[in-house]
Amino acid sequence: MLVRMSVTLAPDVAARPARAVPAVATDAMWPLWCALGSSLSAAFGVHWDIAWHRSIGRDSFWTPPHVAIYAAAILAAVAALARIVPATLGRPGAGASVRVLGFRGPLGAFISAWGGGAMLASAPFDDWWHNAYGLDVKILSPPHVVLALGIIALHVGALVMLAGALNRSAGARRSTLELLLIVVGGNMLVGLLTLFMEKTVRPFMHLGSFYLVVGLTATPVLAAVQGATGRRWAASASALAYSIFLLALLWTFPLVPAQPKLGPVLVPVSSLVPPEFPLLLLPAALALDAWCWRRRERPGAATVALGGVLFLAVFFACQWPFASFLMSPPARNFFWGARYFDFWLPASSAYRRYAFLHEAGSATAIGLGAAAVGTALALGAGRGVGRWLARLRR
């Protein structure tokens, strides 16, 4: 899915002394693939569930999207137990570990186990909520908050588990783990931006708050992946993985027949309603990678501040006019995907009218200023996390 990047060290990594790693790690690879599968299943299941609600409505608890979401929790638990049990029993080849409540295992395994447990715990809560109150009015209902926290922990756990294994590996195994980590980074972008999708859909794309949300959510993930892998173009690769994932859903979901099972039906729907065209994060990620590489010998506050401004400026320059295009008739087709609406969406909504939400010019300027500051702070936090992941061995 991704092209292999040239083997060049990322910013901050090149300036650090080389770490000694074993030529061959002794712990098994299959739990790491299982962790990747849990991350992919969670990202796919959540978007499938959203499409199901937008196209069909909630007809039962055991819908196929729910099965995919909770399968992700089970996969995370399997990946975690496959690392925790051998380490706790002191078996050879269990790998480096930490101790938690008397158990031993990689740090990422414990985070994944907590995330999977939170996801499974949210299931009966969500079922009760719907039986009591009906459909969700907002994405972040109380049971969905529990589920979202579990999914974020699942992604973080997979990222930490892969980073620890990566730092204990070399050769072809290391290259494979770098690729897996980059894909998990893309899944994290999908998950975080989905969490805030009510503020990042088309009508919001000319508001300053939209750029603040994107800067605060996307930048730390990209910077963390960049630092963890030691690859020059790692942030760009994760942004590419994010884009490919959403494009695949955009172009395949409309091929699946679906009909609303709840009323009122305000929009004729005959197939799954897909997510929107992905945000244009890739050009901004390329600019960020190039900037951080150029400034690799000077990883100070100026590099972080100017890097945040550069990321935001490139993203703004690409997304603002692209948002205008998505509101125009040429975008209302299968490729660009600006023709799909929820079956319950009224004709008066800004989304169906292809209208931007407006604010005063001064409010937009203030929002963009806050976005620049927030993006720089998020970039600094992400680089700090990346440095920690690059040193993690347990």
The whole-number pLDDT of residue 20 equals 41
The whole-number pLDDT of residue 101 equals 79
pTM of this structure = 0.88
DSSP for residue 183: H
User: Could you give the CA distance from residue 215 to residue 222 in angstroms, rounded to a whole number?
Assistant: 11
Q: How wide is the angle at C-alpha 377 spanned by C-alphas 305 and 153, nearest 5°? A: 140
- How crowded is residue 268: how many other Cβ atoms within 10 Å of its Cβ? 9
Partners of 388 in beta bridges = none
Tokens read off for 70: 């909770």
The whole-number pLDDT of residue 89 equals 81
Strands (DSSP E) found in the chain: 98-100, 103-105
3 state DSSP class of 68? helix
pLDDT tens digits along 107-158: 888 998 888 888 888 877 777 776 776 665 566 677 778 888 889 999 999 9
Contact assessment for residue 137 and residue 111, using Cβ atoms and an 8 Å cutoff: no
Regions of the chain with pLDDT less than 50: 1-24
pLDDT tens digits along 279-312: 999 999 999 999 998 887 777 889 999 999 999 9
Which residues have a Cβ under 8 Å from the Cβ of 384 and sit 6 or more positions away? none
**Residue-wise DSSP of 27-47:** S-SHHHHHHHHHHHHHHHHHH
Q: Is 221 exposed, middle or buried (0-12, 13-18, 19+ CB in 10 A)?
A: buried
Domain segments of the chain: what residues?
22-195, 200-228+244-394
Contact assessment for residue 195 and residue 149, using Cβ atoms and an 8 Å cutoff: no
Tokens read off for 52: 């199901």
Tokens read off for 228: 């963890």
The whole-number pLDDT of residue 47 equals 94
Longest dimension (CA), the chain: 65
User: Could you give the CA distance from residue 239 to residue 9 in angstroms, rounded to a whole number?
Assistant: 18
> At what angle are helices 64-89 and 30-55 packed, to 10 degrees?
160
The sign of the dihedral angle between the CA atoms of 107, 220, 209, 53 is: negative
**Residue-wise DSSP of 283-345:** HHHHHHHHHHHHTTT--SHHHHHHHHHHHHHHHHHHHHHHHHHHTSGGG-STTT-TT---TT-
The whole-number pLDDT of residue 3 equals 41
**Residue-wise DSSP of 144-169:** HHHHHHHHHHHHHHHHHHHHHHHTT-
Instruction: Compute the residue count for the chain.
Output: 394
User: Could you give the CA distance from residue 35 to residue 28 in angstroms, rounded to a whole number?
Assistant: 12
